[in-house]
Amino acid sequence: MSQVPFESAGALRVGVVDFVAPDEIRVAIDIEAPESVALNTGTPRLFPRVNGYLLIAVDEVFLVGQTEWLTVERSAFPKRRGMQDFGLIDLPYPMRRLRLNPIGTLSLGSASGRYVFARGADAFPSNGAAVMLPTERQLRSIVESGQQRRVKVGESPLAGDADVRVDPDRLFGRHLAVLGNTGSGKSCTVAGLIRWSLEQAQHEISSEVQPNARFIILDPNGEYARAFAGGGSVKARIFKVGADEEQSALKVPLWFWNSAEWASFTQASARTQRPLLRRALREIKAGRRVSSEPGREEKEQVLRRYLSSRLVSIRRDIRSGAFQLEESKFGFRLRAMAEDLRERHVAFPFHGLDSIAEAMEAACRDTFHSFPEPGTGKTVEYYRAFNERQVSAIVEALESSVDLLGGIVYQEGPDEDVPVPFNGAELADHLEMLAEQENVTQYLDFLVSRIRTFLADPKLNSVIGDAGSVKLEDWLSDYLGAGDSEHGCVSVVDLSLVPTEVAHVVTAVIARMLFEALQRYVAKHGVALPTVLVMEEAHTFVKRYRDDIENQDAATVCCQMFERIAREGRKFGLGLVLSSQRPSDLSPTVLSQCNTFLLHRISNDRDQELVHRLVPDNLRGLLRELPSLASQNAILLGWASELPVLVRMNDLPRSQQPRSDDPEFWGVWTGKDETGKPVLRTVEWKAIALDWQEGVGE
């Protein structure tokens, strides 16, 4: 085995170990050690420095420690090397000390002759071991460690400006969270990571060929259109409400929505409205519309489906044993069914409906009980447990009637969640017809009117309408790309002008469609199609929620979709990038699934506390810099980095930066910026008013 060259270590010594524990090492700094700048490491370097790196020789490797704090202690006896004159009296001298967090080992590779850094340590030094400054070569080996570091994202000011590179497989494959205050550089970091990754991939293949990459950016503030607009090596498609000639209209038709998204959008109640809404979606997607003036044959089909559903429901209660529970609502349901069947018997006197009603009423009579409630005088009604004989008589009567109509009908056609085109107005009409059939019109009036109101809104209709103008395969090619140069590598979905009423639903639908499309790709081809979904302002769309609420709103459904992507997306090649200024508001489920973090300046106490819980105790020293980080600086930690490292992100030209600049108050007030260039802000409200009023006020 190659020996580690310790012979030159004496010139780099700065102190000795005087306390050792598995999670900390305390060092007494030599009197002769530099007090501000070290000049013996090849290049001038600040020492001592908080969060800087030091080495301790252990066996045949170096233990790497990161400085957590520095202090000065008054020592009773100074430590002086060399010959001591006992005739002289040494006066007390202040001793400098520091604490190291052990983070890994640095060894010399036997084959490559290069230093190799590895996380963790299996041996610790003893008291008195020398503590040394790393050389320039060793320092770069610590930061630039790891395999397949293909993309440079910045430089480390704590490691002699060594290049900080990442492996895209690690960075995007297990989800990334970019967190920090407003103005700390999050948006530029996200845009830069996408651009630098694609440019490096293009450099590896050919400047004439677009990488077979897929980035979908959900942009609620309209920031990224500028970052990827125009020409250049990275081509992007912009989807926006009110798109211009160089952009594409944002279309998320309502027939993409699944039943949960419809229920949250319409605020459908769980007990009455939601089951009928799902049934209406299923039937209208199967082409089974209910006519306003149905003929005899269609009426019999409606009755057949009605009796079939009741038969299936009672059989399910038999299997579960619900009919034998006194606290269940089985008796009240039978009574309501019997009353409904008596009304239907008038229109269908020869279909055995009276026999079913009689069996239900007989069972209810045998088990019904009531008593006056003490103190109030109100009558309390309840049903005792039903027996198998009573329920079997009801099932036999139902089976006899269903056989007369042609047999039981199970669900036919597509599921209610399958994206099959239909018109929103037809859904509202179908719901009204179903409500009349089930005699629950009073419960569905609000739901139907809400659907009709939203469908009549032209702003909403521009996004969710036009069922016939959008084909599923074309939509997937536009947003996910078809692997050709025409579609580009980046899709920017500008959500800034999406109406507030559907913003969360539209976001949830887009995320779900991408996820389910990649699921089906894996099922068909057996391999994943790597794709990255970027969610800007994630605290708005991936916000923690209460799971004890029965009727979940659109924001909850949206968050649940991202939680599913966070849990399962990796298996289908879908990586998630979250950008947020309030990590404490994010869903804990999503945040816990992120394996890599890029942390910009964070000043809020709650957010800092949450971030500190993301890393082990012995690596938290670097996070103390979070409140004071300058813009463009970030801390990279997690799966994509061997150790937490401070990074100054690469510069991004202004033309490639997202539109997130601070407002120039002074420049506008005075008419010029700091360089003397004029800053003009002309005001023409008429054009804005006409656009706002869509030409009606002209």
Whether the pLDDT of residue 294 is over 60: the answer is no
Given a cut of 50, whether residue 290 has pLDDT beyond it is no
What's the pLDDT at 2? 41
pLDDT attached to residue 291: 47
What count of Cα atoms within 13 Å lies in the side-chain half-sphere of residue 404?
A: 14
Please state the separation of Cα 16 from the chain's center in Å: 47
Which of 396 and 552 is assigned the larger pLDDT?
396
Query: pLDDT category, 292, cuts 50, 70, 90?
Result: very low
Q: What is the pLDDT of residue 80?
A: 56
Q: Tell me the one-letter amino acid at 626.
A: L
The answer, yes or no, to whether residue 411 has pLDDT greater than 70, is: no
C-alpha–C-alpha distance, residues 102 and 507, integer Å = 44
The three-class DSSP label of residue 63 is: strand
- Predicted confidence at residue 565, as pLDDT, reads 95
Tell me how far apart the alpha carbons of residues 698 and 693 are, in angstroms, rounded to a whole number. Answer: 8
Lowest-pLDDT range of 31-45, 168-182, 217-231, 420-434: 31-45
Which region among 323-337, 454-468, 559-573, 586-600 has the lowest average model confidence (pLDDT)? Answer: 323-337
The answer to whether residue 678 scores a pLDDT higher than 70 is yes
**What is the DSSP-derived secondary structure letter of residue 467?**
G
In the predicted model, is pLDDT for residue 527 greater than 70? Answer: yes
pLDDT at 674 over 80: no
Encode pLDDT of 342-397 as tens digits: 887 888 887 888 899 899 999 888 888 888 877 777 888 888 888 888 888 999 99
What is the tens place of the pLDDT at every residue in 560-606? 999 999 999 999 999 999 999 998 899 999 999 999 999 999 988 88
32 vs 75, residue with greater confidence: 32
In this prediction, residue 590 carries a pLDDT of 92
293: amino acid identity, one letter: E
More confident residue, 678 or 6: 678
Q: Is the peptide bond before 48 cis (omega within 30 degrees of 0)?
A: yes
Query: pLDDT per residue over 610-635, tens digit each?
Result: 888 876 655 666 777 788 888 889 98
483 pLDDT tier (thresholds 50, 70, 90): low
In the predicted model, what is the mean pLDDT of the chain?
Answer: 82
Question: Which CATH fold topology does 166-251+470-662 show?
Answer: Rossmann fold (3.40.50)
SS3 133: coil
Residue 503: is its pLDDT beyond 50?
yes
Q: What is the pLDDT of residue 534?
A: 95
pTM for this model (two decimals): 0.76
- Kindly report, as residue ranges, where domains of CATH 3.40.50.300 are found in the chain: 166-251+470-662
Q: Lowest mean pLDDT: which of 95-104, 448-457, 483-492?
A: 483-492
For tokens 């170990």, the residue is: 17
